[in-house]
Amino acid sequence: MLATVPAIVPDPAENCRRQWRQMALSALYTTSDGAGEQALARQLHALRTLLGEGGVPVGTADSATSLQPRLNDAQQVAERLRCVNGEEQAPALLQRCLDEAAAAPDVLAQRWLAQQTLAVLEWLHASCEAPHAAALPTLMRLCRQLYALLEVAQRPSWRERLRQVEIVLLAHFLRGQPFDAAVLQQCSGFFWALHYCLPDTWMPQIPLAMGLPDASMPQTPLAMGPPHAGSPQTSSTTRLPYMSFTSSLVAGNRGMFTLSEATGIDCAPIGEVPACMTPALQRMQGMLASAECAAPPSAPMVLQGYELAVVALQLRAMAAAILFGCLQALLVEHWSQALPLAERRRRCLQKRYGAARLEPGTLREALYELAEIWPPAHQSADLQVPLAGDGGSSAGSIRLAAIPTLLSRRLPTLNAARQAWFARQEEFAPHQLALQSELMMLERGAAAFKVRGIERLCGRLLELLMLLDLQGTLARFPGALLWRAHCHLLHLLDAAAAWWEAAPDQELLQALQDRSRQLLPAPPPANRVAEPAALGEDEAWHEVRRQLLGYVQSFSSLLDIQMRLEISGDGATWPVERLWRLQAALMPLLRYLLLEFSLALEQRRALRLPTTGCLWLCLQRDAEGGPQAQLRDDSAHQAPGAVQWQQLQHRVLKYAGAGIRCEETTLGRCFTLTLPLVLPVSPGGSPPRLY
C-alpha cells in the first residue's frame, strides 16, 4: 500500500510544461505536414479548454489575457485549413501563439490546480461514505501533486498550509493510526477553502488561531457538494462572497486544526530538537552503527526509539515528535516482521536521528523518504483473515492491523476469569463454552498476526478442553494446569497487545499436550468402526463423537498437525443405525481433509494463514426431516480435485451408502452428507456393502 506513495506521477509543474510543449510540437508537426488539420483543431481545443473557455483565464498574468485572442485566431486558421489545404500562414501564427503560451506556464498551472483541487474534493466526497485502506495513500498522492502545482502557481501561503496537512496525513499513516471517514471529512474543509481561494488573486493571511472554535460556525464537518449558486465564483454581490469565502477559509483552518487534533499531533513544521535528548539520540546512533546488517532491529533499539518519540512529545517538540514517532514506527515494522534493516534504511535512520534542528520542509521531505523506504512487507497488512466466532456460527474478516483491537475488545471472559473457576469441574462448566469461544477466536487472530506462542497455547488449551468435555466426569479435572495455562495466556496477550515479544512456556505446552494424550480415546481402525448398535441413542451418539474426535486427534498427531473437530447438533435424536453410517461416511472425508491440510501446511505458513485447523460438524434434519450432516472446513475454499472427489464419493457410498456434495462458501467450503433410508444402488448395480 505504501509503495503507491512514492510512485507519484512526475513533478506536476514539470509535467505541466512538458505537456504544453508536447501539444505545441504536435500541433506544429501536424500543420507543417499539411495533412493534420483535424489534429491541430483538437490540440487547439485542448489548449483553450485548459485556459478556460469563454472567460477570463485564471490569474491575471498579461500573457494569459493576450494568449486567448491569439488562440481564437489560431482556431479560426485551423478551421480554414480544413477547407484550403496548404495555407502557409498558419504555422507562423501558431508558432507565435504557442511561444507566448509557453512563457506562461503559471497560468496553466493555476488552471490545472483548480481542476486538481476539484478532483480531490470529488474524490473526498466519494471516499467519505466508505473509507478504505487505499484512501490515505491516494489522498497523499493528490496532495503531493497539488503541492507542486501550488509552487508553479505561486501560492506560497497555501503551499505552506498544504505542507502541514501533508505532514499530518503522512505521519498519521506511517504510524499506522486508524484512518476513518471523520479524518476524510476534516480534510474536505481544507480543500474547500483552497478551492474557493483559487480564483482570487490575493491571499488573505488569516492566522491559524482564527480557525479555532467559533460559535458562529457549525461544529460538524463541512457539507460536501459542488459550489452552490451564490458562491464566491458566481455571485455578483460583494458582501456575500466575502463572507462565504472567509467562512470557508476559517472552516478550512478548523478542518486542519481538528485534523491535527484527531491525529494527536500538532502541525509544527519546524523546531529544535531539545538538547536534553542529545545523549539518547547518540545512544540510538551508536546502536544503529553497531547493528548487524543481516539482523532485524533489536528490542533495546525499538525501546530507545519509543523513548525518543515520547520524550519529544512530552517536551512538546512537535516536529521532532512527529519525525521520531514515524522513525519508531519504521523500527517496529522491521522488528515485528523480523526484517533486517537494509543499508539505505539504516542510513536514513542515522541521518534523521542525527538532526539537531528541523528546517522548513525537512519534515515533509523526511516523511516522504520514509514512505519510499518503508519495507514492502507492510503492504501485506491488508491481508483478510476469516475469523470464526462462536462455534463457527458467526464469522467476519478483519485487517491484520486490527488484531490488537480484536484482542482487547472481544475477550471479556478471559479477562474476568478467576482462580476459583478452575478449582472444580462444576465451577468451571458454566464458563467453559464462553472461554472456548474466545480461545478459538484468539487462535485465529494470533495465527494471522504470526503470534505463534498464543496460537499454539490456544490450540493446546482447546484440545484439552474438548477432550475434557468428551470425557465428562470420568476424567480428573486438571484445574491447576488450566489455571496456570490461563495466567500464561494472559501474560502472552499483554505482550502481544503492546506488540511485544511473546515466548510461550515450552514446559507448559508439553504438560498440556501430555494431559491431552492421556484423555485421548483409542482411535477406531480406518474404514471400520465399532458398531454402537447395541447402545441406546444417547450412548451411541456419545460413542460416535468419542470415536470421531479420537480419530481426528490421533491422525493429526501422526501427521504432526493441529486440527480439531467441533461437533454440534441433534445427534442424540438420530437412529443408531444412521449414526453408525454417518461415522463410516465421515472417516474417508476426515482422512482426506487432514491429509490435504498437512500437505498445504508450509504454504499456509508462508501466506500467514492459521496453522491450526478446525472442522465443524453439525448434525441436522433436511427439508424432509431426513438426517443430514454438514462438515464445514474454513481452511480451504475450493472443492477437491476431480479425481479425489470421485474417490471420496465412491468411498462414502461404499462404506455408508451415503451421498456427498461440496459447496464453496465465503468462509471456506461445506460438505453435506445425506443418509437416505433406502440405500442407493452403486454403479455396479448392487446395493453398497456396509461394514
Partner 1 sequence: MNRRPLLLLVCSSPLLGECLCRELAPLDCECRLVPEAADAASLTTDAALILVELLLAGEVGFQALRRLRSNYAGPLVLLSGSGRPSDEPWALAAGASQVLSYPLRHEALRALLPS
Instruction: Summarize as ranges the residues that interact with partner 1 (CB under 8 A).
Output: 175-178, 264, 276-277, 279-280, 303, 306-307, 309-311, 313-316, 325, 404-405, 407-409, 411-412, 415, 490-491, 493-495, 497-500
Nearer to partner 1, 314 or 380 (CB): 314
Residue 541 in grid coordinates: 451418539
The CB-of-634 to partner 1 minimum distance in angstroms stands at 25
User: Helix 318-337 crosses helix 343-353 at what angle (to 10 degrees)?
Assistant: 150
Nearer to partner 1, 325 or 613 (CB): 325
Residue 48 in grid coordinates: 483553450
Dist. CA 584–CA 120, nearest whole Å: 63
Dist. CA 461–CA 458, nearest whole Å: 5
Helix/strand/coil for 618: strand
Nearer to partner 1, 494 or 663 (CB): 494
Nearer to partner 1, 173 or 428 (CB): 173
Residue 435 in grid coordinates: 472461554
Distances (CA, A) of 666 to 22, 387, 416, 633: 50, 12, 33, 11
The CB-of-343 to partner 1 minimum distance in angstroms stands at 28
- Return the C-alpha torsion angle 414, 420, 421, 427, nearest 10: -160
Nearer to partner 1, 400 or 690 (CB): 400
The CB-of-314 to partner 1 minimum distance in angstroms stands at 5
Residue 156 in grid coordinates: 506560497
What sign results for the dihedral spanned by CA atoms 492, 496, 498, 499? positive
Nearer to partner 1, 228 or 409 (CB): 409
Helix/strand/coil for 159: helix
Nearer to partner 1, 50 or 321 (CB): 321
The CB-of-209 to partner 1 minimum distance in angstroms stands at 20
Contacts for 606-609: CB closer than 8 Å, 24+ residues apart: 608/380, 608/383, 608/385, 608/400, 608/447, 608/448, 608/450, 609/385, 609/447, 609/448, 609/635
Q: Name the β-bridge partners of 661.
A: 672
DSSP conformation class of 274: P
Dist. CA 240–CA 55, nearest whole Å: 22
Looking only at the bridges linking them, the beta strands covering 395-399 and 562-569 are: unpaired
Dist. CA 391–CA 372, nearest whole Å: 43
The CB-of-609 to partner 1 minimum distance in angstroms stands at 23
The CB-of-538 to partner 1 minimum distance in angstroms stands at 40
Distances (CA, A) of 51 to 64, 85, 104, 602, 627: 8, 28, 11, 59, 75
Dist. CA 452–CA 502, nearest whole Å: 8
Nearer to partner 1, 152 or 414 (CB): 414
Q: Name the β-bridge partners of 616.
A: 566, 632
Nearer to partner 1, 274 or 340 (CB): 274
Dist. CA 243–CA 230, nearest whole Å: 11
Q: What is the DSSP string of 275-328?
A: GGGHHHHHHHHHHHHHS-TTSPPPHHHHHHHHHHHHHHHHTT-HHHHHHHHHHH
Q: How many helices (H) and strands (E) does the chain have?
A: 24, 9
Q: Specify the amino acid at residue 346.
A: R
- Return the C-alpha torsion angle 211, 217, 219, 222, nearest 10: -90
The CB-of-18 to partner 1 minimum distance in angstroms stands at 41
The CB-of-188 to partner 1 minimum distance in angstroms stands at 23
